[in-house]
Amino acid sequence: MDKFISAGRRAVRGLTNMIPIVSGVVLLVGLIKTAVPESFYTGLFQGHLFADSLIGASVGSLLTGNAATSYIIGGELTDKGIGLLPVTAFLVSWVTVGIVQLPAESVLGKKFALLRNVTSFILAVAVAGITVFILGLL
């Protein structure tokens, strides 16, 4: 019973710690929705599957974040009419690739950091394609 209570306390603490992050993302998404016209999204994503997935993965790589916030942003992108493939590529690269974190990560070795990021980028596009393909089968 003590483990259950301890786990419950950690879960509540974790959720409490997430409230400021999620609130900040919701406010940021609201700001972006009003500041960025919808024509920007349609201009950026042209409807070409491969090119759009590369654009989504590139944007996600530059704007690194955590998984919990990526779901909110991904939902907003799909509401804007962006396809599932580029949104999925964005979500995967948002969490796995870290261009912004590259200088700090290079402490582990520049070659390692570059190889990890390049591999993560390529796999983000591949995972997005596989995910959308599997969802299409369902």
Both 11 and 61 in one domain: the answer is no
DSSP state of 82: -
Both 47 and 26 in one domain: the answer is no
Both 23 and 43 in one domain: the answer is no
Both 62 and 101 in one domain: the answer is yes
CA distance 54 to 48: 10
Indicate the angle between helix axes 110-137 and 49-62, nearest 10 degrees. Answer: 130
Q: What does the pLDDT read at residue 81?
A: 84
> What is the number of structural domains in the chain?
2
- Give me the domain span that covers residue 75: 39-137
Q: What does the pLDDT read at residue 134?
A: 93
pLDDT per residue as tens digits for the range 10-66: 989 988 887 887 787 777 777 776 777 767 777 788 878 889 899 889 988 887 777
pTM above 0.85, yes or no: no
Q: What does the pLDDT read at residue 133?
A: 92
pLDDT per residue as tens digits for the range 75-98: 888 888 888 999 999 999 988 887
Both 92 and 44 in one domain: the answer is yes
Both 125 and 97 in one domain: the answer is yes
Both 17 and 62 in one domain: the answer is no
Q: What does the pLDDT read at residue 126?
A: 95
Q: Please report, as a single letter, which amino acid is at residue 87.
A: V
Answer whether 93's CB lies under 8 Å from 57's CB: yes
Phi and psi of 63, rounded to 5°? -105, 60
